[in-house]
Structure 1
Amino acid sequence: MAAVSKGGIVRFASKARPFPSLLCVPGLYQRPVWPTESIPWMGALRAAIPDIVAEYKAVAEAGTLQNDYSLKDGEATLHKAGSTAEPDVSDAGRWEWLSYVQQGRRNAAFAAECPRTVEALESIPDFMPSAGAMPFSYAFFSVMHPGTAIESHFGPTNARLRVHVPIIVPDGEQAKLTIAGEELPWREGEPVVFDDSFEHAARNDSPAQERVLLLFDIWHPHLSRSERESMCAMFDDARQKGWLS
């Protein structure tokens, strides 16, 4: 799919190409969407989906976990009311996170409320926080309210892949992920693995139904253990020096 010339130029056969905004690891094999059939731990994740769904519904009904998504000063807002949002949809543009991991840091309250979900995540060999705190690693229940769109953007690094596990999906393919120009309707119980350093966007065009999924990050499978550990050490050092919050 890609070739590196002597001059260091990366050429792609299609117009779609990765563009990580902060950290680019050269030489990694890249494709927008990865086949789930080739991932060894995917069967165990699929088997855990009923427990994950049950735990999300329990915390959503009880309100025991609160939205912890917030923007830093000067950070652009990606989510907004979609162009198809009905005028009377009050929550249009609302995007909520119920986080287990934010920037490599685990949330003990989430672990207490959703132990089976955490067990499923921590059993994944490539789960990104497993090798140390990484500022690019996240895991959370992502709730897009009716009439919400997330604008096209590029992820911060090609060192990770992102996984979506759809939990609640509106009827009629009204909620979709677009990655490198390809539309992928979410389907309940069918995980999607993609490289979010390619341009991507999301939307929930339903006027009445939320779209909920478990989102989490994994290491790019072609990164060696030593490469992963070196990256973690680099960011740990940056945190200790106060360069990262």
Structure 2
Amino acid sequence: MTTATRDAAPATWRNSGSIDEATPRRAPELALVPDAPAPAAPLQAEPGRPLVIRIGKRLRGVFDRMIASSSLVANDPVLDMRDFAWTAALRGEWQAIRDEAIRVAQGHAAPSLATISPDHRAIAAVGQWRSFFLWGYGYPIEDNLASCPATRALVERIPGLNSAFFSILAPGAHIPAHRGVTKGLITCHLGLVVPRDGDVRMRVGDRVVRWAEGETLVFDDTYDHEVWNETAGTRVVLLIQFERPLRNPGRWIADLFLGIVRRSAFVQEARANIGEWNAAVKALEV
């Protein structure tokens, strides 16, 4: 894999200006159900910040430097999607993925991310950032996967898949600056619904990027990043987290840390919350 800078960056990566005119025609405006009261499922009480997260953040700099030195791809804030050949399959089938995303987003199936993962309450007001999880830290969410067969077939072929979910950002939402857990993971966004009546953008480190429907954006979320949806519409992307291609010793370090995170209360609570939410939604549909 090459890590050299390309001469022509895809439209999705452009630092300024409107979405490229070559962007595929977008779907009709997504009409989301308002943020109604959560289904009556007893979500677990919010605990203190997980120990693995607190310890990990203190040691993150050391771990991330060791992982970066072993990386087989660039350590830049925004990466070249052509270094990840599997992203072509997502772009090729983006409309089928978009149709499934719109269908699940229009009901109560996609809860606030802050409801599912209490650790996200510090960066997202309830209802601003919704999620529909397909995979979470290596665990498949079978009920949700069953309702999105086209997306399932594609994400299950992604090398080193860690998480996959539809990320749904409400009109006017702002996700404050934050950082990912480990440089052992890389994030990919596939643009599905991108409003064009204003500005919807993300800053990653010192780069500002904008989504385009049907295009992929690959970035390192351990760089400080924040998101704005300054439009009257809802932005939807398929968010993928996958393992960074590494040589040893970085691979050993990343695998050890991810193994601890996957077994932690931080992840297990989120899994339980998704299960409870899905059970409550099914009860409402009876």
Give TM-score, length-normalised by structure 2.
Answer: 0.62
Cα deviation for residue 223 of structure 1 reads 4.5
Give the direction of change, closer, same or farther, for the CA distance of 1:182–1:223 in structure 2 (3 Å limit): same
For structure 2, the 5+ residue unaligned runs are 1-55, 269-286
- The answer to which of 165-174 and 218-227 deviates more is 218-227
Distance 1:238 1:169 in 2: 32
Cα deviation for residue 204 of structure 1 reads 0.2
Deviations 1:16-53 (A, max 9, x none): xxxx8364240244111111122221221211211101
One-letter amino acid of the structure 2 residue matched with residue 127 of structure 1: L
Contact kept? 1:71, 1:77, Cα under 8 Å = no
Q: Does 1:67 find its partner at 2:111? A: yes
Distance 2:154 2:224 in 1: 28
Task: Give RMSD over aligned pairs.
Answer: 3.2
Contact kept? 1:178, 1:184, Cα under 8 Å = yes
In structure 2, which of residues 237, 241, 255 is the aligned counterpart of residue 213 of structure 1? Answer: 237
Contact kept? 1:95, 1:144, Cα under 8 Å = yes
Q: Residue in 2 aligned with 1:131? A: none
SS at match of 1:45: helix
Cα deviation for residue 64 of structure 1 reads 6.5
Q: Does 1:111 find its partner at 2:145? A: yes
In structure 2, which of residues 169, 177, 191 is the aligned counterpart of residue 166 of structure 1? Answer: 191
Which of the two has greater helix per residue? 2
Distance 2:244 2:80 in 1: 13
Cα deviation for residue 239 of structure 1 reads 3.0
Contact kept? 1:68, 1:99, Cα under 8 Å = no
Deviations 1:109-167 (A, max 9, x none): 11110011011111112323xxxxxxxxx211111101100011111100010011111
Q: Residue in 1 aligned with 2:46? A: none
Deviations 1:150-205 (A, max 9, x none): 01111110001001111111105611011012110111111100000111111100
Q: Does 1:46 find its partner at 2:91? A: yes
**Identity fraction in percent:** 26
One-letter amino acid of the structure 1 residue matched with residue 212 of structure 2: R
Query: 1:139-154 counterparts in 2 under 5 A?
Result: 139-154=164-179
Distance 1:75 1:50 in 2: 29
Cα deviation for residue 226 of structure 1 reads 9.9
Aligned residues: 203
One-letter amino acid of the structure 1 residue matched with residue 102 of structure 2: K
Deviations 1:72-122 (A, max 9, x none): 667652125xxxxxxxxxx9x711011112233221111110011011111
Contact kept? 2:112, 2:128, Cα under 8 Å = no
In structure 2, which of residues 204, 229, 236 is the aligned counterpart of residue 204 of structure 1? Answer: 229
Distance 1:54 1:117 in 2: 10
In structure 2, which of residues 92, 103, 127 is the aligned counterpart of residue 58 of structure 1? Answer: 103
Query: 1:5-84 counterparts in 2 under 5 A?
Result: 21=57, 23=60, 24-25=63-64, 26=66, 27-29=69-71, 30-61=75-106, 63=107, 65-67=109-111, 69=113, 70=115, 76-80=121-125
